[in-house]
């Protein structure tokens, strides 16, 4: 078998467009997990400005909140967190062996709910800007 | 036609006197059929659909095929034609070097798992009418290609062997000639016994790709014996230790790829999840 051929990129050709629901759920769960870890570190960094006193902390937060991009990122953060929670619940049921036949539907449902909550949060996060 | 028929007649008449004719006659008939069949085919061809196959080609032993490429085959479509039928037609009609595994043609032998239009399917079980045309046929991903559509299954078989896919308990209960299994237990393992070792699940699993993960088929095999009531405690314990090892059930990330592609509709993810719970229960001690 020394002459057999490893196809390299050919075997993955166009594969991502053919991912099934379960695969997308896995990819998004990993992605949102990493985003949340990244957020955790920036969150600690921002909060730790309180060590340098009230004015420093208030100034940092007000400065960040005055940036439009931060407001948009907050909507994104909420969406990421909500999806991670909902898909986490879905995975919990999968681990318990409940509703495995509906695993694709529960993934789509968590996507829809995430979208609805993210859109619903826009007035809160972007209002008064 | 009208000139042909009396012609062969006179020939055979003459031959019967001169030499033993059966072979001759058969050859003549064959020749006649060959002359006629392309005519009838071409007349039918004008209104017949053809399906375009794009087939992966590679052969390290042939100069021009060392670089993998896709060849196009135009196969006349008939109702009920499967991907395997089309491949056989292409091989027999256009290119006898086209290589692929097939045997029973009824989804039992598990030889012809292929990567068809981006999914692992059995060639003999997949209707061309269910697919988008042109049909793209590749060898199974995540396995090394030996030639054309033939992949090296060695690793897959090794993983299957790793779980001892055979009944181990030979003891027969007292006074019985055979080992009894009740209906509920038979129902429980029914789906898991349907595996045909085609390797589609292993190929679809991106955790099994490149690694040493046992893979859905092997774990399903382990499930079939762990859940079987006829094997006793020690053997089951041994099996559980295999599947809860580093490359066992805990590698599964519940992507459901294997369950989607399984040509025998075995709920593979469900079985793996159940074995995960069995493994946890096996290790939990409350005293």
Query: Residue A102, Cβ neighbours under 10 Å: how many?
Result: 13
A99: which chain B residues are within 8 Å (Cβ-Cβ)? none
Q: What is the ipTM of this complex?
A: 0.81
B226 belongs to a structural domain:
yes
B34 belongs to a structural domain:
no
B119: which chain A residues are within 8 Å (Cβ-Cβ)? 18
Q: What is the rounded distance in angstroms from the CA atom of residue A94 to the CA atom of residue B268?
A: 13
Residues of chain B with pLDDT under 70: 1-20, 34-47, 287
pLDDT band at A6 (very low <50, low <70, confident <90, very high): low
pLDDT band at A8 (very low <50, low <70, confident <90, very high): low
State residue B3's pLDDT score. 44
Residue B142, chain A, CB below 8 Å: the answer is yes
- What is the pTM for the complete model shown? 0.80
State residue B176's pLDDT score. 77
A97 contacts B256? CB cut-off 8 A: no
Closest by CA position to A91, among listed A10, A51, A33, A11: A33
Architecture of domain A21-126: Up-down Bundle (1.20)
Contact predicate B240/B186, CB 8 Å: no
For residues B170 and B115, state if they share a domain: no
B138: which chain A residues are within 8 Å (Cβ-Cβ)? 10-11
A10-14, A25-29, A47-51, B45-49: segment of lowest average pLDDT: A10-14
pLDDT band at A10 (very low <50, low <70, confident <90, very high): very low
For residues B106 and B197, state if they share a domain: no
Residue B269, chain A, CB below 8 Å: the answer is yes
State residue B232's pLDDT score. 78
Closest by CA position to B223, among listed B201, B196, B251, B242: B242
A97 contacts B138? CB cut-off 8 A: no
Show which of B119, B151, B183 is a domain's final residue. Answer: B151
The domain limits of chain A are: 21-126
Domains in chain B: how many in total?
Answer: 2
For residues B165 and B228, state if they share a domain: yes
For residues B189 and B119, state if they share a domain: no
| Whether the predicted pLDDT of A5 surpasses 80 | no
- Interval A86-115: pLDDT, tens: 999 999 999 898 888 888 899 999 999 999
- Interval B15-45: pLDDT, tens: 445 555 777 777 777 777 766 655 444 444 4
For residues B126 and B195, state if they share a domain: no
B39 belongs to a structural domain:
no
For residues B204 and B217, state if they share a domain: yes
For residues B267 and B162, state if they share a domain: yes
For residues B168 and B65, state if they share a domain: no
State residue B11's pLDDT score. 47
B54: which chain A residues are within 8 Å (Cβ-Cβ)? none
Determine how β-strand B135-138 pairs with β-strand B50-57: parallel
For residues B102 and B166, state if they share a domain: no
State residue B49's pLDDT score. 86
Residue B144, chain A, CB below 8 Å: the answer is yes
A26 contacts B254? CB cut-off 8 A: yes
For residues B183 and B207, state if they share a domain: yes
pLDDT band at A28 (very low <50, low <70, confident <90, very high): very high
A71-75, A76-80, B79-83, B208-212: segment of lowest average pLDDT: B208-212
B146: which chain A residues are within 8 Å (Cβ-Cβ)? 1, 3-5
The three-state DSSP-derived secondary structure of chain A is CCCCECCHHHHHCCCHHHCCHHHHHHHHHHHHHHHHHHHHHHHHHHHHHHHHCHHHHHHHHHHHHCCHHHHHHHHHHHHHHHHHHHHHHHHHHHHHCCCHHHHHHHHHHHHHHHHHHHHHCHHHHHCCC
What domain range is B254 assigned to? 154-283
For residues B269 and B233, state if they share a domain: yes
- Interval B220-251: pLDDT, tens: 999 999 999 888 788 888 899 999 888 899 99
Q: Which residue has the higher pLDDT, B41 or A80?
A: A80
Residue B52, chain A, CB below 8 Å: the answer is no
State residue A4's pLDDT score. 59
For residues B190 and B261, state if they share a domain: yes
B84 belongs to a structural domain:
yes
């Amino acid at each position: 078998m020394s002459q057999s051929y490893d196809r390299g990129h050919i075997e993955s050709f166009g594969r991502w467009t053919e991912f099934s629901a379960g695969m997308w759920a896995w990819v998004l769960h990993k992605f949102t997990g990493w985003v949340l870890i990244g957020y955790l570190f920036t969150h600690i960094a921002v909060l730790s400005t309180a060590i340098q006193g009230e004015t420093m902390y208030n100034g940092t937060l007000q400065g960040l909140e005055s940036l439009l991009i931060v407001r948009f990122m907050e909507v994104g953060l909420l969406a990421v967190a909500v999806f991670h929670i909902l898909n986490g619940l879905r995975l919990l049921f999968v681990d318990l062996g409940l509703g495995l036949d509906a695993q694709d539907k529960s993934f789509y449902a968590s996507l829809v709910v995430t979208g609805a909550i993210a859109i619903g949060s826009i007035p809160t996060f972007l209002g008064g800007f | 036609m009208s000139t042909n028929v009396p012609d062969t007649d006179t020939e055979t008449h003459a031959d019967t006197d001169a030499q033993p004719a059966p072979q001759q006659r058969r050859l003549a008939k064959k020749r006649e059929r060959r002359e006629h069949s392309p005519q009838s085919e071409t007349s039918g061809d004008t209104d017949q659909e053809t399906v375009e196959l794009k087939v992966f080609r590679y052969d390290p032993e042939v100069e021009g095929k060392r670089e993998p490429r896709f060849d196009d085959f135009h196969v006349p479509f008939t109702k009920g034609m499967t991907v395997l039928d089309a491949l056989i037609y292409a091989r027999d009609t256009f290119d006898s070097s086209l290589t692929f595994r097939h045997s029973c043609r009824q989804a039992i032998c598990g030889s012809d798992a292929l990567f068809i239009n981006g999914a692992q399917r059995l060639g003999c079980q997949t209707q061309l009418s269910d697919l988008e045309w042109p049909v793209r046929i590749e060898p199974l991903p995540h396995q090394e290609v030996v030639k054309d559509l033939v992949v090296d299954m060695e690793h897959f078989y090794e993983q299957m062997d790793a779980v001892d896919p055979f009944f181990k308990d030979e003891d027969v209960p007292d006074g019985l000639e055979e080992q009894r299994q009740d209906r509920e237990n038979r129902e429980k393992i029914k789906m898991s016994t349907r595996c045909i070792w085609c390797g589609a699940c292993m190929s679809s699993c991106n955790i099994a790709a490149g690694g040493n993960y046992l893979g859905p088929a092997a774990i399903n095999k382990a499930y079939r014996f762990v859940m079987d009531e006829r094997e006793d405690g020690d053997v089951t314990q041994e099996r559980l230790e295999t599947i809860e090892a580093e490359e066992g059930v805990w590698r599964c990330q519940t992507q459901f790829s294997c369950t989607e592609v399984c040509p025998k509709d075995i709920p593979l993810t469900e079985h793996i999840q159940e074995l995960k719970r069995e493994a946890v229960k096996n290790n939990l001690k409350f005293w």
